[in-house]
Amino acid sequence: MRVLRLIRIALVSMRFGLDDIVLSHERLAGVRWVNRILFWRDLRQPRAVRLRLALEALGPIFVKFGQVLSTRRDILPTDIADELALLQDRVPPFPAEQVIEILERAYRKPVGAVFASFDITPIASASVAQVHFAELPDGTKVAVKILRPEIESVIANDLALLQTAATALERVSADARRLRPRDVVAEFEKSLKDELDLTREAANCSQLGRNFRNSRLLLVPAVYWDWCSEQVMVMERMSGIPVSHIDRLVAAGIDLKRLARTGVELFFTQVFRDGFFHADMHPGNIFVAVDAPHHGKWVGLDFGIVGTLSDSDKSYLAQNFIAFFRRDYQRVATAHVESGWVPPDTRVDELEKEVRVVLEPIFARPLSQISLGRVLMQLFRASRRFNVEIQPQLVLLQKTLLNVEGLGRQLDPDLDLWTTAKPYLERWMDEQIGPRALQRRLLAEAPYLVAALPELPRLIHRRLLAPPAASDTALLELAAAQRTRNRWLTAVAVLLVIVIVLLLYRPT
């Protein structure tokens, strides 16, 4: 079976000239005879288009791989990344008999005993799963997401072939080795395994819903955990208009300019307030609510891919974005060094020059025409020569930012993302380094201080009374004097800690 699949991959690759893409480097000019043998092929279309068409012809797993690959703009040529971003899951639904079989195996009872009603015709079908409408026994309207049958074995076979192809590429091409195809396939494998467990997606959905409970920006479906398993996810049925249907949004009375601005605010809220963001915000996963209670709110769907950011990641991003606004290239360079992502012996002035060369031409255009996502991408590329290992979560964020910008400017061509984002970023930075940040951190640490406080004087006293390692008399006398001073300092420090704790826990 795997041999037949390999033969099909080879035939499709030759049909679309993928060999020409891989072997077109001048150092491999000796293999140009392949084109002479396959003279009948039409290779007039751009290489990126041919690659996209080949992946679509090879089936859903290769389409999914192309989608993931499109996020790696830090290593892919721009034309290929842009074209792969156009890949869409156009997968026929699997038969009704298999739907029933999967549900009955998951619930160990007939479908009629689980749901009051179940629509056997899917409303959406993608490479990994499809979605059906249903009603719970109490009449609650829900959407039921079901994994494709035997998807694990299909993925395992195709992943093995992808890994084999990646290994072969690294052996024949130095350029391919620089792109680390085996690492990319490994990253894709991890992403797919996460998507094959729908309890993970349900947890992502639940987390995002908790972050935006009662929000004026975003609606997230509730998860009905009693009906969820690894193969089935049951969530609240959401309604709205796909964000790409501009005419329908206008007819429903949606203010497109406001919608674009709130979309930007929504993105930066997820990133900088929560450090947890929906990382698959393409038009198929984003709707706009038009019902009276939620008119104009964004509606999020499909939470298989999310991104997480640490406090250091958020600080790095905020400092870089604000430095962009101010054209402070030295601050951009020092932020890279302080983050620890470049070798410590990196010369800041050289990194600053590289950043200036890349970014200064971008600022020659009006701010409203500048893409924050592309600025971030250019920064990643500029940093590569300094051996910066771009963090996967930042690559995912950069891809999401490009999607947000595309959606925003589709809604409002005059959207100035910089003007919309700058106040939010500056406010966030003030909250991180101002008095409120100090108060918040002290409050966060207060329980640990209270727990450790009774033992603190004894531990400090024991440490200060410990004899010095040296036996020299002068050192001993110096240590005795130092211990006397340290006792007073310890008393003052403990008193200060007590005062801070009392202030923090003072009744309001």
150 DSSP assignment: T
Other beta carbons less than 10 A from residue 2's beta carbon:
11
Report which of 310, 328, 320 is spatially closest to residue 274, judged by C-alpha positions: 310
> What are residue 288's phi and psi, to 5 degrees?
-125, 125
Q: Which of 20, 74, 158, 280 is catalytic?
A: 280
Report which of 7, 51, 76 is spatially closest to residue 377, judged by C-alpha positions: 76
Residue 368 corresponds to which amino acid? S
226 noted as active-site residue: no
Residue 442 corresponds to which amino acid? L
Distance CA 503, CA 490 (A): 20
Report which of 438, 450, 457, 454 is spatially closest to residue 502, judged by C-alpha positions: 450
Q: Which residues contact 265 (CB under 8 A, 6 or more apart)?
A: 217, 420, 424
CB 347 within 8 A of CB 385: no
Report which of 204, 248, 264 is spatially closest to residue 401, judged by C-alpha positions: 264
Report which of 239, 235, 221 is spatially closest to residue 289, judged by C-alpha positions: 239
Angle value at C-alpha 176, between 174 and 182, nearest 5 degrees: 125
Structure tokens of 235?
Answer: 């969530």
- Give the three-state DSSP class for 241: strand
Gap between the terminal Cα atoms of the chain: 71
Dmax over Cα atoms in the chain, in whole Å? 94
Other beta carbons less than 10 A from residue 434's beta carbon:
11
> What are residue 139's phi and psi, to 5 degrees?
95, -5
CB 368 within 8 A of CB 414: yes
Residue 152 corresponds to which amino acid? E
In the block, which residue shows the tokens 């890994």? 163
Distance CA 224, CA 401 (A): 30
Distance CA 505, CA 508 (A): 9
Which H or E run includes 368? none
DSSP letters spanning 90-139? --PPPPHHHHHHHHHHHHSS-HHHH-SEE--S-SEE-SSEEEEEEE-TT-
| Active site members | 280
